[in-house]
Amino acid sequence: MKDVIIIRYGEIILKGLNKKFFEDKLAKHIRHALVDLGKPKVYKEHSRIYVDVDDYNPQEIIDRVKRVFGVVSISPAKRFPVDMEEIKKVVIQEIREKVEKYGVKTFKIESKRADKKFPMKSPEISREIGGFVLQNIEEISVDVHRPDISVHVEVRSDTAFVHSEKIEGFGGLPLETNGKALLLLSGGIDSPVAGWLVGKRGVEIEAIHFHSYPFTSERAKEKVMDLAKIVASYCGEFKIYSINLLPIQKEINEKCPEEEMTILSRRFMMKIAEKIALKFECDALVTGESIGQVASQTVKSLHVTNAAVNIPVFRPLIAMDKVDIIELAKKIGTYETSILPFEDCCTVFLPKHPVTKPKLEKILYSEELLDVEELIESAIDEMEVINTLEI
């Protein structure tokens, strides 16, 4: 008998001739998540992925695997040669452990016979095992509708599995299956969630962060690095391109209408991000914008912002309420860091009445008052590159 972790996936099953490619990527990222534990055995069988527990800590394996994109659910299980009497013994052991640990009172047996040569059909397996449990554990009864514990029995050609827990993963697609994008990462709630959501669709991410040092503090920068590290725990290590926007903001403040500061700054961020993205082979930009949340996120403002670049801009939060974004931030562990009270570059030279319905022709006219290309090149020349592994 062997302790194993069963790992299930979802969308990958629908990938047809490309299924193996997606499975291999998922297995690769599971191995990577576990590598520093000592390389437990990870392998594919029966349209699933398994990890042999051996002498490793099963909870440590589960905690790491459930953060891997593509994983739908996880079950710690017993694996052993098919034998009905052995299955009964293992089920009894499983239920007794749960009775002692959690005080369960009711149970249900759910069986799946994948091997059609096995002499008993799935309902027959469940009935026989259920009767055996009732004969051997007095303090428990059957409840097929709302049991305290559901014990799953799987019978395959040469192997049986027994498990009673199903731990949810985040689903999605494995990283490295859908290209690469550059995330505009701030210290707020939204952008880390946006990066996480795009990563969940199999997109590798890198990040660009804009600051206004010394108007913004080193602690504000550290906050963003902390957020990057959390995102990297799901999306894998990535680089952060840190850009000082202050010289550009000073030029805008000196030469352009005050109410256009926010939208002009945003367009500069997008232009710089596009240049960095193309240089480092990113196919799109990712932002945490949501319609109407702030002045730069009205539909007209987003139109003017989009006009600054030619590559796709992904906005996974675009129609989400702030409450929903906050709930997701809490779920993935970025919220508590995001709400730390440190300023970001968007608060520098913040106009009292920012334009909410900008006209592209007026914004383009204001940009003509600036040496746009020189400002962009100077900002990139002073860029700092940080790897999340170094944080």
- Write the CATH number for 343: 3.40.50.620
Asked whether residue 157 falls in the same domain as residue 194, the answer is: no
The mean of the pLDDT values for the chain is 95
- pLDDT over 90 at 196, yes or no: yes
Pick the last residue of a domain from 138, 166, 194: 166
- 161 located within any domain: yes
Please write down the HEC assignment for all residues of the chain. Answer: CEEEEEEEECHHHHCHHHHHHHHHHHHHHHHHHHHHHCCCCEEEECCEEEEECCCCCHHHHHHHHCCCCCEEEEEEEEEEECCHHHHHHHHHHHHHHHHHHHCCCEEEEEEEECCCCCCCCHHHHHHHHHHHHHHHCCCCEECCCCCCEEEEEEECCCEEEEECCCEECCCCECCCCCCEEEEECCCCCHHHHHHHHHHHECCEEEEEEEECCCCCCHHHHHHHHHHHHHHHHHHCCCEEEEEECHHHHHHHHHHCCHHHHHHHHHHHHHHHHHHHHHHCCCCEEECCCCCCCCHHHCHHHHHHHHCCCCCCEECCCCCCCHHHHHHHHHHHCCHHHHCCCCCCHHHCCCCCCCCCCCCHHHHHHHHCCCCHHHHHHHHHHCCEEEEHHHC
CA–CA separation, 184 and 32 (whole Å): 26
CA–CA separation, 285 and 270 (whole Å): 8
Structure pTM? 0.94
Tally of domains within the chain: 3
- pLDDT over 80 at 345, yes or no: no
- pLDDT over 90 at 332, yes or no: yes
- 206 located within any domain: yes
Asked whether residue 65 falls in the same domain as residue 151, the answer is: no
- 173 located within any domain: no
pLDDT value at position 294? 86
Pick the last residue of a domain from 135, 166, 197: 166
pLDDT value at position 391? 87
Confidence of residue 205 (pLDDT cuts 50, 70, 90): very high
- pLDDT over 90 at 343, yes or no: no
- pLDDT over 90 at 326, yes or no: yes
Asked whether residue 196 falls in the same domain as residue 154, the answer is: no
- pLDDT over 80 at 25, yes or no: yes
CA–CA separation, 389 and 387 (whole Å): 5
* 349 marked among binding-site residues: no
- 302 located within any domain: yes
Asked whether residue 212 falls in the same domain as residue 153, the answer is: no
- pLDDT over 80 at 202, yes or no: yes
Asked whether residue 268 falls in the same domain as residue 151, the answer is: no
Q: Average pLDDT in the 326-343 region?
A: 94
Tell me: the pLDDT tens digits for 235-294? 999 999 999 999 999 999 999 999 999 999 999 999 999 999 999 999 999 999 999 988
**Amino acid present at 243:** I
Q: For the domain that residue 141 is a member of, what is the CATH number?
A: 3.30.2130.30
Portion of the chain with pLDDT greater than 70, in percent? 99
* 209 marked among binding-site residues: yes
Asked whether residue 69 falls in the same domain as residue 162, the answer is: no
Confidence of residue 216 (pLDDT cuts 50, 70, 90): confident
- 301 located within any domain: yes
73, 255, 294, 351, 356 from 259: Cα distances, Å: 50, 12, 14, 6, 9
Tell me: the pLDDT tens digits for 66-90? 999 999 999 999 999 999 999 999 9
pLDDT value at position 295? 78
Asked whether residue 50 falls in the same domain as residue 94, the answer is: no
pLDDT value at position 350? 77
Q: Average pLDDT in the 331-350 region?
A: 85
Asked whether residue 336 falls in the same domain as residue 283, the answer is: yes
- pLDDT over 90 at 160, yes or no: yes
Asked whether residue 75 falls in the same domain as residue 138, the answer is: no
Q: For the domain that residue 45 is a member of, what is the CATH number?
A: 3.30.70.1510
Q: Which of 141-155, 197-211, 257-271, 348-362 has the lowest mean pLDDT?
A: 348-362
Confidence of residue 203 (pLDDT cuts 50, 70, 90): very high
Q: Average pLDDT in the 383-388 region?
A: 97
Q: Using an 8 Å Cβ cutoff, are 304 and 358 in contact?
A: yes
Q: Average pLDDT in the 142-164 region?
A: 96
Asked whether residue 107 falls in the same domain as residue 248, the answer is: no
Tell me: the pLDDT tens digits for 97-107? 999 999 999 99
Pick the last residue of a domain from 62, 80, 98: 80
User: CB within 8 A of 352, min separation 6: which ones?
Assistant: 258
* 288 marked among binding-site residues: yes
Asked whether residue 188 falls in the same domain as residue 337, the answer is: yes
* 210 marked among binding-site residues: yes
Confidence of residue 346 (pLDDT cuts 50, 70, 90): confident
- pLDDT over 80 at 348, yes or no: no
* 134 marked among binding-site residues: no
* 292 marked among binding-site residues: no
- 175 located within any domain: no
Asked whether residue 208 falls in the same domain as residue 266, the answer is: yes
* 264 marked among binding-site residues: no
- pLDDT over 90 at 157, yes or no: no
| Structural domain boundaries, residue 124 | 82-166
